[in-house]
Structures are given as C-alpha cells and as structure tokens.
Structure 1
Amino acid sequence: MISIKERIISIFIYMLPWSYAIVFGRDFFINFPISKLLIYPTIPIFYIQNILPFGSFILFIILLLAIAQNPKVSIFIRFNTMQALLINIALIIINYGYNIMIKLLEYVLFMQTISNIIFISSLSIIIFAVIQCSRGIEPDLPGISNAARIQV
C-alpha cells in the first residue's frame, strides 16, 4: 500500500517537468487567461531554480542521486522521480529543437501551433501522472515508463 506521503511527494516531483513545459504555453495563456492558474504549482520549482546558480542543474542532480538512485527510498517515489526526470530531459531537447525551428522558420502561426501542441501534450502527460500518483498507481507512459523501470 502506497502511503499518502509517498503519493504527495510523487505528485510534487512531476512539477519539475511541468515547470519546463510552461514556456510553451505562452500563447495558450494569452487565449485562455484562466489557465494561468496552472502556473501556481510550479512556483516553488521556479524559486529554487532562480535562487541558486545553475539551480535547475543542481535540482536535477539532487533528484537523480538522492531520490532516483537511492535504494532507501520507496520504489514508488524512485520510479516517479526517474520518470519525471526523463520527461524533463525530453522537454529540454524539444525546447532546443523548438528554438532552432524559430530561427529557421518565420511562420508565426505554425510555430504557435507547434508550441500549443507541445504544451497540451505535456499538460496531458502531467495530469495523467498526477492522477495515477494520487491513486497510488505507477503511471504507465509508453517508452518512458520502461526506461524509468530499467533505471530504478
């Protein structure tokens, strides 16, 4: 049985990739102002990342070494941490590709569409993971879950 504490920790860990996905929601937030409420859960992550030099890298390393690779931590938290870190890595790579596409392509509507697709996809993944964690079930994301299970 997964404890409430483990569920809450796992839910909070998924705010790390969500903080990276927020960048893609700029146009979405303009069109749907009420959706700005989705930013509030990421405020502690933004605070940690901005207060420390290399804050996002330090946070990544701490989560990887202190939680995901620590056998003393429950397997549920370790699995969700590794999965959140893998989602985070995917979003970082997508962000680099997106920035390159912005420089090469000047089609504003196309880039807004791509940005909204990335944002809504990330939102769907995070919502699914948070719901599954709150139920005490490991979220099964194709490809990512297998890689996370191998690492844990």
Structure 2
Amino acid sequence: MKILLVILLFVNCGAFTGFLPSKVSSNSPSLTSFRTSFRTPFHTSLSSFNNPGGEEAPLEERLLACFPYLLPLADGAEFGKFIYQRLPVLGTLERATVQPLVNVFHAVPFSSLIIFIGFSFAARQPSLSRFIRFNIQQAILLDIALIFPSLFGGAANELPRYLVEPATNFVFYAFAASIVYCFFSNLALGKEPNEIPVVSSAANQQLGPF
C-alpha cells in the first residue's frame, strides 16, 4: 500500500520537482529573466489569489476544507506512540478521538489509496473554490510526507529506543503542529494555511494561481 502511494507521489505531485536543482547555469540571463518575471509576481500576488479581496472563507467552506486532513491525521497518529506512553492523558485522548478513525480506515481494504486518489481528483475540479482545493492538495502532500518515515518503521525496530524515540517524536510534533495550524487557520481565520515550509509552496505550485 505504501509503495503504491510513493509511486503516486511521483505521478501526481510534480510540484516537488520545482525544488530540484536545474542543469541550467544560475548565471544564465534567460534564467535570471525567467525568475524575475515569474517568481516575484507570483509570490507577491499570491495572497490575493488565496482570498480575493481579503475576504474570509464562508463557514461551510471552512468546515469542508478541514475534512481532507483526516487522512494524514489517521496515518500519522502512530508516530505519537512514545508520547502517549509518557503522557497517558494524550494517549486516552487519542484513543477516544483518532483511533476510531484509524479503525475505520483499516476495516476497509485499500481505503487510504482510494481516498488518496479521490482527493487527487477533487483537487483538480474547477467547480470547487481554490480555498478548498488548496487544503485538499496540502493534505495530500502531508500524507505523502508521512509515507517516508513509515517505510523505515520496520528497520527502526532493530535500533535502540534512545535513537528511535527522538526521531519518532520529531515526526509526530512536526505533523501534529501542521494539522493544528491548518485547522486553526481554516476554522478560526478562514484563511488558507499556506505557511507550512516546503509543503505549502508545493501545494501552491501544484494548483497554480487560480
């Protein structure tokens, strides 16, 4: 399952290729002109595309925009296992809120893959507002980002806990902070949560300005 999602990463999320080094010399006049004419106007005017006229998203769109993050929320809960052991209150909260969602995902074969493909399709539907499509695309990328540490989970079991625990906790803190930020920005502010390093830039590039 995770291998299939990694393949979909390269097929579906070409936005990440924007971070790869180019073979063209950075001193090339044409490249300099391209960067000046494309990057600067795009980034300086991006906020106007996020929320035209500075308007906040309506309530129904705020709620709908949070829904896609249930996918990375369910897939990333496992990285909090050491934190739940040290803070039983958080473990109890996780079992009461997130674990039922995880159980539903596991009960349906290939549910994560099906939802992933469905979200990828929805993110390209012009009938949806850019606010919703951005959140869908960002949720997809967050879920993809969780695949790579998951792939090394089996090998990590052979390592001593004093090495595995800090690395696992770091993944959980980064993932949890991103999810909380997205929910807060969507629900409380009605603004695109577009400040997550690398991920938000990739989501913006994938969607384009419109």
- TM-score normalized with structure 1 length: 0.88
1:28 aligns with 2:113: no
Identical residues among aligned pairs (%): 29
CA RMSD of aligned residues (A): 1.8
Q: What is the correspondence of 1:6-85 to structure 2 with a 5 Å cutoff? A: 6-36=61-91, 37-43=93-99, 45-65=101-121, 67-85=122-140
The offset of 1:98, in angstroms, is 3.7
Q: Which runs of 5+ in 1 are unaligned?
A: none
Distance between the aligned counterparts of 1:77 and 1:96, measured in 2? 29
Q: What is the correspondence of 1:76-115 to structure 2 with a 5 Å cutoff? A: 76-103=131-158, 106-115=159-168
Distance between the aligned counterparts of 1:12 and 1:95, measured in 2? 23
Q: 1:137 aligns with which of 191, 198, 209?
A: 191
1:128 aligns with 2:142: no
- TM-score normalized with structure 2 length: 0.65
Cα distance change on mapping 1:71 and 1:90 into 2, 3 Å: same
Distance between the aligned counterparts of 2:84 and 2:114, measured in 1? 29
Letter matched to residue 15 of structure 1 = L
The offset of 1:75, in angstroms, is 0.7
Q: Which runs of 5+ in 2 are unaligned?
A: 1-55
The offset of 1:48, in angstroms, is 4.4
Secondary structure at the aligned position of 2:196 is classed as coil
The number of equivalent residue pairs is 149
Question: 8 Å contact 1:15–1:41 — kept in the other structure?
Answer: no
For residues 13-32 of structure 1, give each alpha carbon's deviation from its aligned partner in whole angstroms, at most 9, with x where no partner exists: 21211211111111111111
Query: Which portions of structure 1, spanning 4 or more consecutive aligned residues, are displaced by more than 6 angstroms?
Result: none
Give 1 or 2 for the bigger CA radius of gyration: 2
Secondary structure at the aligned position of 1:73 is classed as coil
